[in-house]
Amino acid sequence: MVVSHDGFNQVEAWRSIIVVPLSTSPRQLRRGPTAVPLAKGAAGLRRESVALCHQVTTLDRGKLTERTGRLSTPALERIDEGLRAALALL
């Protein structure tokens, strides 16, 4: 899931995109407030998933091949809370 600012994402010379990886393993939910559940169908997800906010990383934009969808505002707020917990921004 892309979490970097749209201003960076839209500049082609800016090669790095900040992402939160997703997992389909239900065991990841035990990781606490940094593991955010996402329902099947949310943003086009084919399976129930977990956003792993404690594993924020960057990818080269060339590795991104397609946009699957956009999360709802409530889901984005839960991701924001997970990132705040992971990065001690509370």
Question: Tens digits of per-residue pLDDT, 25-64?
Answer: 999 989 899 999 999 999 999 999 999 999 999 999 888 8
- Residue 1: predicted pLDDT: 92
Q: In the chain, what are the domain boundaries?
A: 6-86
Assigned CATH for 6-86: 2.30.30.110
Q: What is the mean pLDDT of the chain?
A: 93
Residue 90 has pLDDT above 70, yes or no: no
Q: What is the pTM of this model?
A: 0.89
Cα separation, 79 vs 12, in Å, equals 26
- Strand ranges (E), the chain: 16-19, 22-23, 35-38, 49-52, 57-60
